[in-house]
């Protein structure tokens, strides 16, 4: 059992919206922009988690949690890529969202990373006023998270999410449109209470995370992260 309160359904639903956007990046036909959308999805999920816990420092201080790429010229490429994806014509997808390989894992990554931040905040961590020390803490959390992901059998959660995301009619096209609109640019404040197919999908994901067997699995994951952090201290 965890020694901290479980996140609210409203917050979990916001994480789920970010997770669906991250997974929809697989269908965006612009090289590297999938990484941008996934990173932005984690950033937004973390930002909403900070707000829930009353933290008012810039979310950018925790960038090591989602930063995957860096390099000279990437900003220029990103601006061009964003323009290309905005102008890319909307298309219909026949693929069933949850049945596409990798989609559940993308959702899981966002959900569990945001949950990990929520657990650390609930324990009074991530409060250092020094941005450098805060960034170092974020790097430690990301390493512990990655270690827990490698060592944890998440097939039960993967299967449950795949099933939940396979029932939404039109979810693939709706998720891509949602990701393009709200997560392809850094200057937007995404709507994390979407309606239609994406909104229904977020609620199905939230329902999955409330199942007793999944709750126990999440608690086990929390414990692995905590152990990895303690071992690294």
pLDDT of residue 14: 98
The domain spans of the chain are 9-232
Residue 19 neighbours by CB under 8 Å, 6+ apart: 41, 45, 106, 107, 108, 109, 110, 111, 205
pTM here is 0.88
pLDDT category at 26 given cuts 50, 70, 90 is: confident
CA–CA distance, 60 with 39 (Å, rounded to integer): 12
What does the alpha-carbon distance between residue 111 and residue 105 come to, in Å, rounded to a whole number? 10
pLDDT tens by residue, 119-174: 999 999 999 999 999 999 999 999 999 999 999 999 999 999 999 999 877 899 99
Tokens at 109, concatenated: 């990554």
Residue 22 pLDDT > 60: yes
């Amino acid at each position: 059992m965890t020694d901290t309160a479980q996140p609210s359904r409203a917050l979990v639903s916001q994480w789920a919206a970010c997770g669906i956007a991250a997974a929809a990046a697989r269908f965006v036909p612009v090289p590297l922009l999938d990484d941008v959308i996934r990173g932005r999805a984690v950033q937004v999920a973390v930002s909403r988690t900070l707000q829930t816990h009353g933290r008012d420092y810039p979310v950018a201080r925790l960038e090591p949690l989602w930063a995957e790429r860096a390099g000279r010229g990437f900003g220029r490429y990103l601006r061009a890529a964003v323009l290309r994806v905005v102008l890319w014509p909307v298309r219909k997808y026949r693929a069933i969202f949850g049945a596409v390989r990798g989609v559940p894992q993308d959702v899981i990554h966002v959900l569990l990373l945001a949950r990990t931040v929520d657990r650390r905040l609930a324990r009074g961590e991530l409060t250092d006023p020094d941005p450098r020390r805060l960034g170092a803490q974020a790097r430690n959390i990301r390493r512990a998270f990655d270690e827990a992901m490698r060592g944890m059998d998440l097939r039960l959660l993967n299967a449950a999410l795949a099933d939940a995301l396979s029932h939404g009619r039109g979810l693939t096209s709706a998720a891509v449109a949602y990701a393009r609109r709200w997560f392809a640019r850094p200057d937007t404040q995404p709507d994390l209470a979407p309606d239609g197919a994406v909104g229904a999908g977020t609620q199905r994901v939230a329902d999955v995370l409330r199942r007793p067997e999944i709750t126990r699995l999440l608690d086990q994951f929390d414990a692995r992260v905590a152990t990895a952090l303690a071992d690294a201290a």
